[in-house]
A and B are shown apart, each in its own frame.
Chain A
Amino acid sequence: MSGFMSILKRDLHLAIRQGMDNMMVVMFFVLAVVLFPFGVGPEPNILARIAAGVIWVAALLASMLSLERLFQTDYEDGSLELLTLSPIALEVIVLAKITAHWLTTGLPLIVAAPLLAVLLNMNTEGFPMLILALVLGTPSLSLIGAVGAALILGSRRGGVLLALLILPLYIPVLIFGVSAVDAVIGGFESKAQLLILSAFLMGALPLCPWAAAAGVRQAIE
């Protein structure tokens, strides 16, 4: 556990010292959402209708963009080898890094989301559910993305490749994340969607660090 905390602390430290990098992810998120009114027109009804979907898709893309760096810098400067050789299980190390990633990118996205929902004229009844769905969904995105981030280490053109690998795997989270918000706005229950999102998270929590650790091991071999 103390190893987990050490790595979490270090990664948070690194992220805070390189503050601009994380701000850029949030800026991308905001910008991507702001593009939509230009694309589909400023009609409030249309924007309100697509708001949840647009925010989720933009969050997906933003989370993916930042994931490329999850292992990359440690891979390049040799830290990843040394982490693998530490007495702590690699799965725990990977989980600590994913946690740090979520705290530094997922959390800011969740904070920015209601603001964007206002810009898109989303029904205010959906706001709490949007936040709740993002809280349950974005950790799964970080977990799934970590597997992709580990697999592309040392490849040519990692960033585009990462998108190709993990965006299809994000589809279930997207479907239920959006559906939870839309259900509430439409006046329905969204307990089922939330339960399924939680189930994804519970499934991803043990499986993804394990797969990502396998990916890291083969990358540094």
Chain B
Amino acid sequence: MLHRFANPTRFLRIATLVQPWMAWSTILLAGAGLYLGLLSSPADYQQGESVRIMYVHVPAAWMAMFCYTGMAVSAGVGLIWKHPLADIAAKATAPVGACFTFLALFTGALWGKPMWGTWWVWDARLTSMLVLLFLYLGYIALANAFDDPSRGTRASSILVLVGFVNVPIIKFSVDWWNTLHQPASVIKMDGPSIDASMLWPLLLMAVAFNTYYLWVLLIRIRAEIVANKIRILRLKQVHG
């Protein structure tokens, strides 16, 4: 049993060191990014003030995809090399990724109201994001559907890999479907050229979202390791 937890113990030591750094970088970067984005950057000539939603929306959408990729990689590592930490990381990432996805959808709807006149349009990006949210929710549901937690971990690891293969296919299908039903009339949120005054806050926010993710991930992994230890103690009580 010990060899399995040798690594998490070392991980816990490193995590305690790194975590405050992540917390402070998140606060500073997000503070600077929000200041630049919401107050000091210019409004868009076409979209007006509502362009500022982009500074939250775009990083959230990036993180939504980044988290799913991260989950797939961790799940793969967990399945192949049976690394307990990888399984925990995948499980800990899922709710964070789902929240990012929801945030991207929510801000997308907020942005859509002034731009399109409705809260929701079946735009290709939004639709793909919605499907991604369902994939996250399916993963979370499966991971918690078993009385034996290790069963949930293995089953959901296979699911996330299957989902990962499917994400590009779903994206492609939705794009096709969208062009069939809606001629490209919507304004793209991130145009090809973006002014430096807008790029800087966007990049700052993207990095801030990343450090925020790492910060929360570390907290969640630590909590999960502690929960595992408690479960083992309970089992010892029962089985001696």
Known: A152-B142, A154-B146, A164-B134. A169 touches B163 (CB 8 A): yes
The interface bits of chain B over 141-185 (1 if a CB of A lies within 8 angstroms of the residue's CB, else 0) are: 110011100011011101101110110011011101100100000
Indicate if the CB atoms of A218 and B155 lie closer than 8 Å.
yes
Known: A154-B146, A154-B151, A176-B173. A168 touches B158 (CB 8 A): no
Indicate if the CB atoms of B170 and A172 lie closer than 8 Å.
yes
A164 to B154, CA, bound (A): 18
The interface bits of chain A over 137-174 (1 if a CB of B lies within 8 angstroms of the residue's CB, else 0) are: 00000000001100110111100010011011101100
Which secondary structure dominates chain B's binding surface?
A: helix
Indicate if the CB atoms of B174 and A211 lie closer than 8 Å.
no
Known: A157-B145, A175-B177. A167 touches B165 (CB 8 A): no
> B107 to chain A: closest CB distance in Å?
22
Q: Which residues of B contact A164 (CB under 8 A)?
A: 134, 137-138, 141-142
Contact count band on A: 20 to 34
A179 to B181, CA, bound (A): 10
Q: At the interface, yes or no: B131 with Cβ under 8 Å from chain A?
A: yes
Q: At the interface, yes or no: A215 with Cβ under 8 Å from chain B?
A: yes
Q: Which residues of A contact B147 (CB under 8 A)?
A: 156
Q: At the interface, yes or no: B135 with Cβ under 8 Å from chain A?
A: yes
Among all A-B residue pairs, the 4 with the closest Cβ atoms:
A172-B173, A155-B145, A168-B134, A218-B154
- Jot down 5 A-B pairs with beta carbons below 8 A, ordered by A: A164-B141, A168-B170, A169-B163, A179-B176, A200-B169
